[in-house]
A and B are shown apart, each in its own frame.
Chain A
């Protein structure tokens, strides 16, 4: 109906003139204007009514609270934070904590998901059944319960700091988290990080060049081994030049807790494990579906060419399956990010957790909830945009 070209309804020649409100084109526009106007009116009514009610109840509005002192502490923060900092800063801490668990979670869930998805298709009975058991078991239990499970497993199952497990010198496992020693090498550390970045960049460049050369000449270049050597070798070189320091900052039991070193908190660990294993099941199914979507003839053709099974998977099946996998995978990445808001249930200070406390202190629920929604929207749209870009890159050019 809507696709009827407007010209079809145009009066031609000496046909009787139609009044405008009987003209389909004008009617369509009129209805749309009416609906849009109605939506705007309703929105305006709600906003106006809220503001009037808030004002008559003497409830403060506006974003002025962001500059005030927050006054409460958070358990972990990637940046310096103290209770004397502002609400704005504590919200930034919350956003960073959300991003931290989301990014690490997405990477790990992808790895686990791909492994489990491929394993379900394995001809090895034990591996296939084990993967099926994992997927069907964890996919069908609500993620919140899984978080409680992992959290209580860590806090109840591990010993107190005074009886902490000490598998290797400097590594401590207790219900306060996992303490590991970190290198205390000053400037050499920075130089090594720069060298590592340079190594990754060089390896990527070599891989690109090698692929192009192989496409043109058919010659194979051992880009993987050379790249790995660069990634490991360059930081090692930087370490040697820096005088091969060996000082370590190891966790040590002082007073109530371990001090020094790096600590992975039970809250972060439980949230990460829970989200990764839960989302991994969905990714496994998507990967399995993607691989099954590639015609079996492709596998047979690959085997007929004399390729090994693992090479058929890597060179023929996975690249084609990716085109089917990427769009639903994006949804899983978004789900993982949004599910990270369950952190408040097990005490990880993510955005929702700190924003909730801010709301309670300031009483400015509307602003607080709006900030939460805005941040999640921004993060989700960014993930979507990145995945859509990647999807366009790998899809068949000139197809359809």
Chain B
């Protein structure tokens, strides 16, 4: 949203000659030769991608990068994190600066096509919601008629907000501020009755920025679809397969009850799917061009999807987000891995 960085991006576009298309099929070889995966991540979004007190990157998006590093090298630490702003993220992937973009990025048709990306797997089903102070005693976003609503400029949040109120024939006053911190401050000062953003971000604001999280409620209405997914460059199918199956492996592990704690025993499992997953029955790794222990290493070092979720955004974290749509399909959610065979 900063005009300067936009101009810089435009100027960059003006100076760099044509776009190189020499990436096709080369990413995997380049990564192996380099010895690490370069991962584009958020500059700091608690639960998804942010450095912790010790300076280690943590978050759901981060763990997806670690899973890929495990699959390729058998070592989750072989990742280099590149923090990217919202404007720079797509260009960074297109230009080959990063191998994976795992940065809270919504999967949309235009990004998948016109921007030259391929989205791999939705790792978090998010959606725009509203947060209000508890003492307003609201039960639904439909009671927000005439309210003042704080919103951050840019992204599609502003349009979703206006669409929702138009669709329900209600009026509102937006207070549109550039920086996330200032938007939060304006909401907390009482300038606005409600704040709107992606539900996961509202949970982060409630957990980290409010004096008492119990004073704020996130209303049940979700007014937009924001499936967040890691993306790779369009046209490199081998790398695309490795990234997407690394993520699927975490989901399949959760479905089959394989965790970082019991993965050693799982090698002796009688379930043929589990045997193929952990490499006791060889074949899956070879198909991807990886070591047969690829998925074993992911589960051992990073964990299954459920562990990743609970640790970063679920009940074991400050965000305390319920699984909701992000539960396994067997538990009424949308997380579903294709078959491991």
Contacts and interface: CB of A to CB of B under 8 A. Distances in A.
Contact of A75 (B9, B113, B176): B176
Interface in A155-190: 155-156, 160, 175-176
A347 B173 CA distance: 12
A357 interface: yes
B154 A356 contact: yes
B262 interface: no
Nearest to A266: B191
A349 B190 contact: no
Contacts of A73: 158, 161-162, 165, 172-174
Interface in B131-186: 144-148, 153-156, 158-159, 161-163, 165-166, 172-179, 182, 185-186
B325 interface: no
Given A155-B189, A156-B189, A357-B154, A49 B17 contact: yes
Interface string A69-82: 00111110000000
Interface in A331-387: 344-347, 349, 352-353, 356-357, 359-361, 365-366, 369, 372
Contacts of A259: 146
B22 interface: no
A9 interface: no
Contact of B146 (A56, A59, A254): A254
A49 B177 CA distance: 34
Contacts of B214: none
A152 interface: yes
Could you tell me the dominant secondary structure of chain A's interface residues?
helix
A352 B153 CA distance: 11
Interface in B1-49: 1, 3, 6-7, 9-10, 13-19
Among B15, B144, B191, residue most surrounded by chain A Cβ atoms (within 10 Å): B191
A397 to B, nearest CB: 44
Contact of A74 (B116, B166, B176): B176
A84 B166 contact: yes
A369 B159 contact: no
Contacts of A56: 18-19
Contacts of A175: 189-191
Given A47-B14, A257-B146, A366-B10, 5 more contacts: A57-B94, A83-B162, A155-B190, A175-B189, A259-B146
4 nearest CB pairs, A to B: A155-B189, A83-B162, A347-B177, A72-B158
10 contacts: A46-B15, A57-B94, A72-B161, A83-B166, A346-B182, A360-B153, A361-B156, A365-B6, A365-B10, A369-B3
